[in-house]
A and B are shown apart, each in its own frame.
Chain A
Amino acid sequence: MIDLKSVNYDRVLRRYDIQMEAKETPEDIASKMVPQDPLLRKVAEDVVFMRYKNVQDDVAAALESFSPEDIIDKGLVKGMDVVSELYGRGIYYLPHVMVAADAMDRGVKLCESKMASAREAKGKVVMHVAEGDPHDIGKNIAAVLLKSNGFNVIDMGRDVAVEDVVKTVESEKPNLVTGTALMTTTMTAFPKVADRLAEKGINIPFICAGGAVNRAYVESYPMGVFAEKAAQGPPLANKVIEGWDWRKLREDWDKLVGGA
């Protein structure tokens, strides 16, 4: 092998990620964002620092002083807000978000078991992977992110037939539907789904994403709204809840997902 000692690697590559590494720690950022009350703070920190083994005990302790609704909104969701901030700044990686979401989910379940009526979700999303396509990791990530943002997710799984998607949308009446596909010849199920929904008089945003999927393709059929990555799901879904239709989402797409 040739001797590499004389190679000045600064002329060959640059580790921009290390150069730009954040100096702030998760603790610095969390301390500015978590609630001041010690009980709620503990719950929020369980989510931020992924202490999923502690979260149930800490939620149980908080339930002695706070309503389940308050613990969800002011403790667990606050914690998840910190996680989103850390992910956005590049301090946390995706697996941190997934594990934090698991912790939050445990806390939410305990709170919900103490509530008189079911907690009202922000909105409902039907999710599926296109017929003939077994690649579902992107859909699974998006489902976790939407759930942790307060959405009720109906996850239909992978390799889902067009008619099954249409039937589920008809019966569940979601605010939006999503579809993912890796391949050029499976994403062609999306316009079929859109056509069949239109035939049924359904007109909701249909967020489509995945390996070979691109914006031009998704915007070639009615209802289609493109998402480049899973993290763009919540900002798009939040706008749907605010009343944006698929045309408005397309129009303001660049502005909306630019930071996601």
Chain B
Amino acid sequence: MALKRYTKMEYGSPDEMVFGEAKYPVSYGLGQTVGAGMVIPEINFAPRPGAEKNPETLRREYVDYITKDILDRAITLGFPAVQLENEHVFQMVNEPEKFEKPVVAGQKELMQKYHDEYGIALSIRHTIADPRLAEEGLRPGMDQKHSYPEKMFEAFEVAAANGADLLSIETMGGKEVADYAILRQDIRGWLFGIGYLGSLDMEWVWPQIVEIAKKNKIRAGGDTNCAGANTSMFMAGGYLDKDIPRTFSAVTRAIASARSLVAWEAGASGPDKDCGYEGPILKSIAGKPCAQEGKGAQCAHADLMGNLIAQVCDLWSNESVEYHPEFGGSSVQCWLGNIGYEAALMNTAKQLKQDKLLRDLYMATDRYRSPESFILAYDNAYKIGQAIVENGNDIYLRAKAAGMTAARLIEEESKAGKLKLSKHEQDMLRRIITDLSALPDEQGKFVDQCLKAYKDIPMFNPKNYDL
């Protein structure tokens, strides 16, 4: 299937973007419509260690405990719509018929019951684990040890046939190179790993997911560069962390956006995945709904844009929380309360026609908290989107342009504006601009250069990408 490249922006200006509205709303599940005037809380969870002991213990954890707790709390607090996200554990992708099927079917059965009884709009995203190992092979027939590529698609089929409303994945293509590059602050290597190899992998994976979704009359949502840009973001961390500079993390986020766009180019409808902080850039380009997480995801990680990242979301998520008791109920109930009340605030602002003011307040609080939050502020996200579509037909050039635009935006604001940078962040920014400026203007030359430079990286096998 041919990919439809984005070569123009779907939004005419950044100001057109606001939370709870997308150019192309999507309907699915049990009365759910996303991006059509409402922000919907999306609750994500992880089973307790040991729940995976056998298929019945896992089903009980996911269905009888987690899903039931969520649905009870949604009714208790009066939320009109809720989306669940099940990020599949390894056992579900390794043995889909045995472990995955009862969970997927059981969750949907319970959701149907609550929908029928209370009329609450409900949907569930199933995010299939990507267990593929670069050292064993990313494509079918290559992994003789585990057959992970085959199992991954089997898991999609099982989810789609048994109750999933929305399919997603966090593909891992190019991570072996990006991990190597991040530890050496090598922006060229990261661009090659995620901007190029990651895009190639998605170009292969996503048309197949879209086909599975179509066949089962459900939706293909989107991807996230959790494996790459979030690794950067977590390592860059907060003000006490010294693992990598935040200017590096910000530029990797921009590069990642050119890669995550591929899912939508392959025909996925959105909403994309919550942990893809590149969502505002993707939405500015494609007008499809996006899921985001921030201050309501402190159970999973402490980012430096807890408010800002809500600015243009359509689903508002808690990322993931391990199921356990809290004083206020189970963890999923407490975090649903957190994100559900935030969605209620956004939806009230929409009703009072104050949504753009609230959007700007979210954005303003964190605009200067870090270089990454700065480039994701919706006006800057839009500029990065423009750089991508100007080079839309070339996965290398657009990723490079996204990175360079982010770097220049940070440079300009740190010189003349309110964005402060540490010495090391400044040094890194200068090096990134120098390194990106030195790269070739042609994809072929870049790839030749990188294949030579990174040939000895452990686990990197060009055959995984048909190179």
Interface residues of A (CB under 8 A from B): 1-2, 4, 7, 9, 12-13, 15-18, 21, 87, 90, 92-95, 98-99, 131-134, 136-137, 140-141, 144, 157-159, 183-188, 212, 217
* Inter-chain contact A94/B131, CB cutoff 8 Å: no
Q: A12-B365, A98-B183, A159-B133 are in contact. Are A17 and B240 (CB under 8 A)?
A: yes
Q: A137-B179, A141-B183, A184-B46 are in contact. Are A7 and B364 (CB under 8 A)?
A: yes
Whether B89 is near chain A, meaning CB under 8 Å from some CB there, is yes
Which B residues are in CB contact (< 8 Å) with A21? 422-423
Q: What string of 1s and 0s marks CB contacts (under 8 Å) between B355-398 and chain A? A: 00100110111111100000000010000000000000000000
Which residue on B lies nearest to A17, using beta carbons? Answer: B239
Q: Which 8 A-B pairs have the closest CB atoms?
A: A132-B90, A17-B239, A185-B89, A94-B243, A185-B52, A95-B185, A2-B360, A16-B239
Q: A185-B49, A217-B49 are in contact. Are A132 and B91 (CB under 8 A)?
A: yes
Which B residues are in CB contact (< 8 Å) with A15? 239, 420, 422
Which residue on A lies nearest to B14, using beta carbons? Answer: A1
* Inter-chain contact B379/A183, CB cutoff 8 Å: no
* B interface residues, tally (CB under 8 Å): 51
| Complex alpha-carbon distance, A132 and B130, angstroms | 10
Which B residues are in CB contact (< 8 Å) with A93? 185, 242-245, 424
Main secondary structure, interface of A, reads loop
Which residue on B lies nearest to A97, using beta carbons? Answer: B183
* Inter-chain contact B360/A1, CB cutoff 8 Å: yes
Q: A15-B239, A95-B185, A98-B184 are in contact. Are A9 and B418 (CB under 8 A)?
A: yes
Which residue on A lies nearest to B243, using beta carbons? Answer: A94
* Inter-chain contact A132/B94, CB cutoff 8 Å: yes
| Complex alpha-carbon distance, A123 and B262, angstroms | 47
* Inter-chain contact A185/B422, CB cutoff 8 Å: no
| Complex alpha-carbon distance, A11 and B366, angstroms | 12
Q: A4-B364, A159-B133 are in contact. Are A212 and B420 (CB under 8 A)?
A: no
* Inter-chain contact A158/B243, CB cutoff 8 Å: no
Whether B72 is near chain A, meaning CB under 8 Å from some CB there, is no
Within the complex, which residue of B132, B146, B184, B240 is in contact with A99, where a contact is CB–CB below 8 Å?
Answer: B184
* Inter-chain contact B90/A133, CB cutoff 8 Å: yes
* Inter-chain contact A4/B367, CB cutoff 8 Å: yes
| Complex alpha-carbon distance, A93 and B132, angstroms | 31
Which residue on B lies nearest to A137, using beta carbons? Answer: B179
Within the complex, which residue of A13, A144, A188 is in contact with B52, where a contact is CB–CB below 8 Å?
Answer: A188
In the complex, 13 of the A-B residue pairs with CB atoms within 8 angstroms, ordered by the A residue number, are A1-B15, A2-B364, A9-B418, A17-B240, A21-B422, A92-B242, A94-B183, A98-B183, A132-B94, A137-B231, A183-B90, A185-B52, A217-B49
Which B residues are in CB contact (< 8 Å) with A94? 183, 235, 242-244
Q: What string of 1s and 0s marks CB contacts (under 8 Å) between B90-131 and chain A? A: 110010000000000000000000000000000000000011
* Inter-chain contact A95/B244, CB cutoff 8 Å: yes
* Inter-chain contact A9/B235, CB cutoff 8 Å: no
Whether B435 is near chain A, meaning CB under 8 Å from some CB there, is no
* Inter-chain contact A140/B420, CB cutoff 8 Å: no
Determine how close the nearest CB of chain B comes to the CB of A114; give it in whole angstroms. Answer: 24
Q: Within residues 202 to 255 of chain B, which ones have a CB less than 8 A from any CB in chain A? A: 231, 235, 239-240, 242-245
| Complex alpha-carbon distance, A188 and B185, angstroms | 33
Q: Within residues 1 to 52 of chain B, which ones have a CB less than 8 A from any CB in chain A? A: 14-15, 46-52
Which A residues are in CB contact (< 8 Å) with B364? 2, 4, 7
| Complex alpha-carbon distance, A157 and B135, angstroms | 10
Which B residues are in CB contact (< 8 Å) with A16? 239-240
| Complex alpha-carbon distance, A131 and B183, angstroms | 24
Whether B154 is near chain A, meaning CB under 8 Å from some CB there, is no
Whether B157 is near chain A, meaning CB under 8 Å from some CB there, is no
Which B residues are in CB contact (< 8 Å) with A137? 179, 182-183, 231
| Complex alpha-carbon distance, A144 and B458, angstroms | 14
| Complex alpha-carbon distance, A158 and B420, angstroms | 39
Determine how close the nearest CB of chain A comes to the CB of B392; give it in whole angstroms. Answer: 26
Whether B402 is near chain A, meaning CB under 8 Å from some CB there, is no
Q: What string of 1s and 0s marks CB contacts (under 8 Å) between B243-285 and chain A? A: 1110000000000000000000000000000000000000000
Determine how close the nearest CB of chain B comes to the CB of A128; give it in whole angstroms. Answer: 14
Which A residues are in CB contact (< 8 Å) with B363? 1
Whether B150 is near chain A, meaning CB under 8 Å from some CB there, is no
